[in-house]
Structure 1
């Protein structure tokens, strides 16, 4: 376990998911004006011998910014893997490697939504850069609906290092950009792959793009030729899952 200070997370779903993780939650604050809708969380916490404090809602509002839904939990930070351990996961699961690399995602809503999708489709690990990325801040826990607990995370100094490590292990690097050479439906996604998603404003950096083996795009029929980054990631990752389900 990483030796870090406890952090606050908020919102019904993130706290419920935290309660499923043994010894993760150290204390819960509940708004006294919302006792009835939060009864399930209170009862679960009491069964787990987790202290519950009933407080004025203003107390919670002073600690967090965002839609807290009247519940706040003090938890241990999420454990992160190093890249070496992450690379062992596919063989442990007897699956072809399926990784997601985030190139400087800065918006916590997008980051959280992406982690939620990554958990849903079975991504083996999400790799992101420590500097210039939003990281696992409380608002990411909220927007992920608690999926942060269930996704393997690799925080790294430079994602280009991870890409080179993947390539040495014959993992194909597929970047997603609007000007890709082929659509994701034309790409073969059954082999060992790592999908690279670029930032909200600039997409994949040129130095990262040069390391990709292939660039794919999502076909568009409408007048708006781009999607929100978390929406685009959803389309891409579910196409991977679809193709792999057909080959089983």
Structure 2
């Protein structure tokens, strides 16, 4: 099974002081072609936490900028949220206009927030904690990777609801050259962290269904620039152990 997490930024033009942009997070499971069937060593996700910051829309020349969130923003999915239910993160205000790119950073949590989901990230100075099971045995994979992400396209914010989706393909996290990467094996850490950095895509998605718009007046393309990655995770978290929880699913 392929599990994709969708961070949906619903952008409403700031025509009045009460206008806001609703930033929501949802997840859905879908079968990925070519994926091997679940086996006794299958990885099942039960909880995913990712710390983001400096999320903004920009024009190509940098003259027009719309800050969605300075951050930190903690994405926390578990249980039903991993089966396709909508998960709201926060509300913001975004000026109307046409933007050429969206930028954000994956970054270790370094200061306390009011979000209880951030506690473990802060304690471990981690940017992501992934929990689940391998062949029924619980694991917790924590990492302090840093990555600046930039996606070029055509992002239009009007007086009607617009939507930008961040597609995080978790099916790529624990696989290399068709072979399973066991998160409990420290030797697999560099490959898993590299997969995490390259598992995100972003596109305009006005209907909020997780698919890129293909309207005639929407020339959004697939250009992307992963930006500069920093660090290799080092001793940034455990490769095994931890409590993976008891619900949710996402086979790899």
TM-score by length of 1: 0.25
Higher strand share: 2
Higher helix share: 1
